Structure 1
Amino acid sequence: MARTGKISKRLLMIVLLTTLLLSACQPSEVEIPTERALSVEIMEVSYGDLQVRTTLTGQVHPLEEVRLAPKMPGTVRQVYVSVGDRVQAGETLVTLDQRDLLNSIRQSEAAAGIAEAGVATAEAGLAAVEEQHQQALRELNRIQTLYQQGAATKQQLEQAEMAASDNALNSSQAQVEQARAQLNQAQVTIEVARSSLEDTVIRAPIEGVVTEVNAKLGEGISGPAVTVAQLNPVVVKTTVSEYLINRFEIGQEVSVKIPAAQTEAYQGTVSTIAPAPGTGSLTYPMEMEISNPDGVIKIGMFAEVELTMETRENVITIPSEAVVIREGRTVVFLVEEERAVMREVIVGVDNGQTAEIAYGLNAGDRIIFSGQDFLEDGSLINDVNGKGSDAS
């Protein structure tokens, strides 16, 4: 009985091994890989307008800026303004010490008074001499008549001629002229002193904003004391290549962006176009004026001038990113039955964001504008937006 049990166990093991071997030898089913759809974004082609723009960089400058220095060195007596103050033309900004000049004016006025008195005395003396001269002339005429009649002597005639000579008259006239010259000199001295007094006052020559103050109370100054800039309007200065310069003209309106001032573009007007390149440059200086009533635009701010180079209206347009290069060909991927179909196109104008398709697409075509970089002709696709009609 024991041997029979052992044989049964052996048979069972043989059967199990045989079953396992037969199972291993059976051919397994071949798994067919599933094609993976690539995620893309789809849009419908339509007509639109397209503009090609170029951007020039520039910087904001004041319309006019003056650095005011006293015409004569002196000590600052009073400073009336601070940086940021708005001033009117003719407004007093700084005054210098005037004591020495005021004393000089007083002395000159006193000298002028003395000179006036001297002129009056000389003129009175001249009047008396002229009267004496007229009397001497009348006496000479009388003596000449008597001499001709033999009633006067030669000596009497000579004495009368000497008395009627112009010597005294000429001398008196010279004294008057000298007195008047002294008076004129005194008056000129007064005018010079008064002019110098005016030079101690620094006034604003233009309406504007104070951008710098170097004058300090009680300190001597001879250089620039105050700087005033006219900030409405302001000027944007840029340079233009020879390729673009003839696209501008005086009075032309241009779009100017100044990001530090506001997000919207300003409307500027071309005010100056240089007829020749700047020194040591191949570009032409150009200026544009921009209204700045609220003073938001500051001196030195960065500016961008936008110029429309070319315009296309009512043409087939697609996003520039939808166009790819494959094996040297310019292509776009269309959508047909959930498959990407490669089509060669001809691109017209491209502004970097939107491209004109001159040939190869029609309005209503559905194209892939995002996710096309890894596509091949015939690739299975999946529209992640599930719309396939509008890129926006």
Structure 2
Amino acid sequence: MKALKMISIVTVLLALFAACTTTENQQEAENAPAENQIIITAEQFTSSNMELGKITLQYFSERIRATGMIDVPPQYKADVSVYYGGTVKDVRLLAGQSVKKGATLFTLENPDYVQMQQDYLTAKSRLNYLRAEYERQKKLFAENVASQKKYLKAESDYFTVLSDFKALGQKLRLLNIDPESLDYNKVATFTEIKAPIDGYVTQVNITRGQFLSPNEVAISIVNTEHLHLELKVFEKDITKIKKGQSIRFRLPDNDTDYYEGLVFLVGQAVYSPERTINVHGHLKNEALSSQFIPGMYIEAEILVDEAQYPALPSDAVVSVENASYILVKKSFANNQYIFVQEAVKIGKSNDGYTQILNADRFGEAEILIKGAFNLIH
């Protein structure tokens, strides 16, 4: 009787143990993540520098590659020369030095300058006498007192000297000598050559004591306030280029810093043998002009057919066996993130973003945009 009672107790205990074991296994199965779920602790999320984000609208476009240089418009360049040669008396400029319009660049001296001023003053003095004589003969001729011959002679002498006087005045102005301020006590042996524009000196081709011939370039000046882009585009791509399109460009030794510009003018001539066409662009931000120097080589992309599409950072999209996936946050509880691996259809990729063709499926869901690569399989 006691033996039967003991057997019954053992049987009940075994049944209870089996039931408990079954319940625990069921709970573990219910709490276990599905095959497309990934659990990350908050500590793992932080230590791995993971980030969450949402699908946003980004610009995508076709890229036309071009090369070119930083330049300035012709009116912002000046090669300084002289109309009348002379010996360089003084020059104190260095390449890179800034100058203001009207500032003295260098001085020239030449005995011919003295002769030109003397001729001007002589013509001015004669002109006063000849004007009076011309007016007198004109009046006498009108009154039939003087002969026509004397009147015409006075007229010829006066206008000949008047013409010489005006021409000499213009020559002096070309020497930066003001003829109106000239008198016999102010005859200069030298002339000052002035800067025609504001800017920076790029070349100094003269030295003190050198004879500078007419039209020989003495100093070059460039104003960098309005830099522009001069690009070369192959003729096969030129029909896609339009005024107002965006330009992204960089310096060859810098792979990370891009600058922005706009197409301003498309050339109308093809240059051989490269078969390229010039495209003129402006900087979007003129304040960046100080970062560039005319003549710098650049590599550029012209953005055509530009439009906005839903997109994610390219690091958020992982491709596995011809399919693409993202991790969508399902929940955050008990210091744990639960992500669901979802398939996505992708389109274009530009500037670190990838177009998501089925973006409507995810709405405002939070997505792992950094750190997904090692988690998706």
Q: TM-score band (shorter)?
A: 0.5 to 0.7
Distance 1:201 1:270, change over 3 A: farther
CA distance change for structure 1 residues 183 and 311 in 2, over 3 Å: closer, same or farther? closer
Structure 2 gap ranges (5+): 1-39, 41-49, 178-190, 327-342
Alignment partner, residue 147 of structure 2: 169
Deviation, structure 1 residue 201: 4.7
1:349 aligns with 2:348: yes
| Structure-to-structure mapping, 1:31-46, within 5 angstroms | none
Corresponding residue SS for 1:295? helix
Q: Quick check: 1:112–1:186 contact (8 Å CA) kept in 2?
A: no
- Residue 298 of structure 2 corresponds to 303
Q: Does 1:106 align with 2:101?
A: no
AA partner of residue 300 (structure 1)? G
CA contact (8 A) 2:99 2:195 kept: yes
Q: Does 1:58 align with 2:68?
A: yes
Q: Distance in 1 between matches of 2:241 and 2:223?
A: 25
Judging changes above 3 Å, is the alpha-carbon distance between structure 1 residues 72 and 181 closer, same or farther for their aligned structure 2 residues?
same
> In the alignment, is the contact (CA less than 8 A) between 1:233 and 1:293 conserved in 2?
no
Map of 1:141 onto structure 2 = none
Task: Supply the AA of the counterpart residue of 2:309.
Answer: E
**Larger mean Cα displacement after TM superposition, 113-122 or 200-209:** 113-122
- Offset from partner CA, 1:54-75 (integer Å, 9 cap, x none): 3433321223322222123222
The answer to whether the 8 A contact 1:270-1:286 is kept is yes
Distance verdict in 2 for CA 1:349–1:194, change over 3 Å? closer
The RMSD of aligned alpha carbons is 4.7
CA distance in 1, matches of 2:160, 2:354: 88
Question: Would the aligned equivalents of 1:79 and 1:95 in 2 still touch at CA under 8 Å?
Answer: yes
Change (3 A) 1:98 1:323: same
Aligned equivalent of 1:217 = 208
Residue 92 of structure 1: how far off its partner (Å): 3.2
Q: Which structure 2 residues correspond to residues 303-342 of structure 1 after superposition, within 5 A?
A: 303-308=298-303, 313-314=309-310, 323=319, 330=322
Where in structure 1 are there 5+ consecutive unaligned residues?
A: 1-41, 135-167, 335-343, 371-384
Q: Which residue of 1 aligns with 2:278?
A: 285
Q: Distance in 1 between matches of 2:138 and 2:313?
A: 103
Normalised TM-score (structure 1):
0.55
Shift of 1:237: 1.5
Q: Secondary structure at the match of 1:70?
A: coil
By relative contact order (CA 8 Å, sep 6+), the higher-ranking structure is 1
CA distance in 2, matches of 1:320, 1:282: 41
| SS at 2:290 equivalent | coil
Provide the rounded CA distance (Å) in 2 between the counterparts of 1:313 and 1:185.
73
Give the secondary-structure state (helix, strand or coil) at the position aligned to 2:293: coil
Residues 249 and 217 from structure 1, CA distance in 2 versus in 1: closer, same or farther, beyond 3 angstroms? same
Deviates more, 1:253-262 or 1:298-307: 253-262
Query: Is the CA contact (8 Å cut-off) linking 1:212 and 1:227 kept in structure 2?
Result: yes
Q: What letter corresponds to residue 154 of structure 2 in structure 1?
A: V
Q: Figure out how many residues of one structure are paired with residues of the other and give that number.
A: 285
Cα pair 1:115 1:186 within 8 Å, conserved: no
* Distance in 1 separating the partners of 2:256 and 2:347: 31
Q: Report the Cα distance in structure 1 between the residues aligned to 2:287 and 2:133, rounded to whole angstroms.
A: 66
Contact 1:209 1:230 (8 Å CA) reproduced: yes
Instruction: Summarize the Cα distance change of 1:79–1:196 in structure 2 as closer, same or farther, 3 Å threshold.
Output: same
Say which of 249, 253, 264 aligns to 2:242.
249
Within-5 A mapping of 1:1-392: 48=55, 51=60, 54=63, 55-63=65-73, 64-79=76-91, 81-114=93-126, 116-118=128-130, 120=132, 124=136, 133=144, 169-188=147-166, 190-198=168-176, 201-222=192-213, 223-242=216-235, 244-258=237-251, 264-290=257-283, 291-292=286-287, 295-308=290-303, 313-314=309-310, 323=319, 330=322, 348-350=347-349, 388=375
